[in-house]
Amino acid sequence: MPADRILVVDDEDAIREIVCSMLSNANYRCAQASSGLKALALLESGEEFELMLSDLMMAEMSGTDLLEKIKEKYPDMPVVMVTAVHDISVALKAIRDGAYDYLLKPFEREQLLATVRRALENRRLKLENRAYQTKLEALVEQRTAQLGKAVVELERSYDITLEALGNALDLRDAETEGHSRRVTAFTMAIARAIGVPKDEVKVIARGAFLHDIGKMAIPDHILRKPGRLTPEEVLTMREHCYLGYKMLTKIPFLTEAAEIVYAHQEWYDGSGYPRGLKGNEIPLGARIFSIADALDAITSDRPYRPAQSVAAAREEIKRCEGRQFDPQVVRVFLSMPEGIWSELRRNIDAQAHPLAYSYSTAKSSA
Ligand SMILES: [Fe+2]
């Protein structure tokens, strides 16, 4: 370890010399300044010291004035005031003002060295402590960033799994092809227009994307039946809301989305299914979803009729407000520019690879 460097400031040459020779004999490196101004000049020239010993009473600039000038700029260099007995109160004031200690003149060599050692040790501990703090803060910051990244990755892989689930349903139920993705994009657009917070939009998006996942459990002869369903078959079909809910509610990050799946066929006036929920009993996500769902159904081709215009869908949704749809959500929906729906549809339909699905694209712009 290199020897500590000590700056000795005193306007009496003899004292400076004695102090310096005592310090040098104890293997410290010593520099001298015969006034406060010279000490300042030395420090400003870029010379570094681990400690300064300064006489208190000096002609040009007192030790306290010197201390005042340097303490902010060199906070890691402790200052020990050297003083005669009669100005002990000034020495105490200097300590209050930031000096580390004081040394009474005349002093023995051992007293000098003990004070110097204490001051240097104190400085070393302070620096070590600060380095430790900084390291700790950096470590916490680094770990937090790693954790955040892991959570994002985890969420991404969740969503890829969701997409696979949605695609699996598309394979069984051709009519829904692209429907889940479009309805998700429409639902998210309305949710954002309402001002739903970002995290909540994610939950709602998952609910919308998986709304019909319960159809996985509906037998093919009902799900894919070309003609009309019998009343019993209708009842079986309607179970898909609860079945979907049961599937998702066990998955921790889908618990809230499961509520939307459960309620996606409810009507605002209470005449929907499966529970006949009414008004705000229906989760907001489900109330938004039902408008998005109607919009997509009306503007998509069906075996029995061609796709209708967005304007026609707006008309129909307006007509059903208060009955099927939440009037407040309808108001927001109608206030949105008509063109965005066809644009969203085009974007989603243009995605050739199913894995480049709207859900992740829409989410990343969330
Ligand atoms: Fe459904």
Q: Is the pLDDT of residue 128 over 80?
A: yes
Kindly give the distance from the C-alpha atom of residue 26 to the centroid of ligand 1, in angstroms, as a whole number.
88
Summarize pLDDT for 252-280 with one digit per residue, the tens: 888 999 999 999 999 999 999 999 999 99
Mean pLDDT of 42-63: 93
Asked whether residue 150 carries a pLDDT value surpassing 50, the answer given is yes
* Structural fold of domain 173-364: Hypothetical protein af1432 (1.10.3210)
Enter the pTM of the model: 0.62
Q: Return the half-sphere exposure (C-beta side, CA atoms, 13 A cut-off) of residue 122.
A: 16
Question: If pLDDT is split at 50, 70 and 90, which confidence band does 163 have?
Answer: confident
Ligand 1 centre to CA of 225 (Å) is: 16
- Cα distances from 227 to residues 221, 224, 302, in angstroms, run 11, 9, 13
> What's the CA-to-centroid distance between 264 and ligand 1, angstroms?
7
Residue 215 CA to ligand 1 centre (angstroms):
8
Q: Report the C-alpha gap between 43 and 70 in whole angstroms.
A: 9
CA of 190 to the centre of ligand 1 (A): 19
CB count in 10 Å sphere of residue 86: 8
- Average of per-residue pLDDT across 146-152: 88
Residues 25-54: b if buried by 16+ CB within 10 A, e if exposed: ebebebebbbbbeebbebbeeeeebbbbbb
- Residue 80's beta-bridge partner residues? 53, 101
- Give the Å distance between the CA of 219 and the centre of ligand 1: 15
Beta bridge partners of 325: 321
Asked if domains 5-133 and 173-364 share a fold, the reply is no
pLDDT digits (tens, 9 = 90+) for 318-338: 999 999 999 999 999 999 999
Q: How far is the CA of 265 from the centre of ligand 1 (A)?
A: 6
Do 342 and 311 touch, CB atoms closer than 8 A?
Answer: no
Quote the pLDDT of residue 177: 65
The Å distance, Cα 240 to ligand 1 centre, comes to 7
Q: What residues pack around ion ligand 1 (CB closer than 5 A)?
A: 212
Is the pLDDT at 189 greater than 50? The verdict is yes
Q: What is the pLDDT of residues 330-364, one digit of tens each?
A: 999 999 999 999 999 988 877 744 444 444 444 44
Q: How many angstroms does the Cα of residue 263 sit away from the middle of ligand 1?
A: 9
Cα-to-centroid distance, 290 and ligand 1 (Å): 9
Question: Which residues does 116 contact at the CB level (< 8 Å), separation at least 6?
Answer: 6, 23, 26, 28, 51, 53, 80
- CA 268 to ligand 1 centroid distance, Å: 16
Contact indicator for 329, 190 with CB cutoff of 8 Å: yes
Domain regions of the chain by residue span? 5-133, 173-364
CATH class of 5-133: alpha beta
How far away, in angstroms, is 80 Cα from ligand 1 center? Answer: 81
Cα–Cα distance measured from residue 36 to residue 55, given in angstroms and rounded to the nearest whole number: 9
CA of 238 to the centre of ligand 1 (A): 8
Q: What is the pLDDT of residue 174?
A: 60
- Taking the centre of ligand 1 as the mean of its atom positions, its distance from the CA of residue 121, in whole angstroms, is 74
Interval between CA 211 and ligand 1 midpoint (Å)? 6
Give Cβ neighbours of residue 285 (< 8 Å, ≥ 6 apart). 187, 191, 200, 203, 204, 207, 208, 257, 259, 260
320 compared with 164, residue with greater pLDDT: 320
* Ligand 1 centroid distance, CA of 212 (Å): 5
Tokens (6 digits) for 19:
């102090």
Element (H, E) at 219: none
Centre of ligand 1 to C-alpha 282, Å, is: 15
